[in-house]
Amino acid sequence: MLSRVGVVERCRVLQSRRAQHEEVELVHTKEHVEFMYKLESMDEEELQILQESYKSVYLHPKTNDCALLSAGCLLQVVEEVWQGRARAGVGLIRPPGHHAEPDQPHGFCFYNNVAVAARHAIHNLGCQRVLIVDWDVHHGNGIQHAFEEEPRVLYVSLHRYDHGLFFPSSEDANFDRVGRGPGEGFTINIPWNKVRPHTHT
């Protein structure tokens, strides 16, 4: 579709790369990264049993490799823009990332691509402030939890909420969750409530 409307021809396509241990560990625990690498040596039966212990996750021996490529590609885009070699960029990447928590996969997400890119921009590139606008039907619980106490990152999420009933079904997605400590006020949730709660007369 992008090629058909001429977008690809107007862009410079970057070479893919895998994110490194130290890059994903800007957001994720060492234990989580080690867990991801262990997937490579598991057979199909082991992976199917393991994935049942997580919420909406499918596992494969190549899951870690795909997730590292996804995160690494976004880091490439951020570096190109930050260093002035591009005015803007877009990462067309899978698997996604915004549900991945610092210590576990969640909701089809394994490494939190956007959170890793934001931390990379701050810690390795010298960026002073980052704005993340997460416009998706689902709340980006993993991004919010990564930056709840971080005043250098303003996280704005627009998502379906249904009074806490819609995936990922957490009250952390409500409008009153605004960050903690030094990050208070730097989380902005805009929940859409399609279903009205039952009322009694």
Active site members: 99
Tokens standing for residue 18: 């895998």
Strands (E), the chain: 130-135, 153-160, 187-192
Number of C-beta neighbours around residue 13 at 10 A: 7
Q: Give the number of C-alpha atoms closer than 13 A to the C-alpha of residue 130, restricted to the C-beta side.
A: 23
58, 71, 59: which is closest to 25 by C-alpha?
A: 71
Contacts of 150 (CB under 8 A, 6+ apart): 182, 183, 186
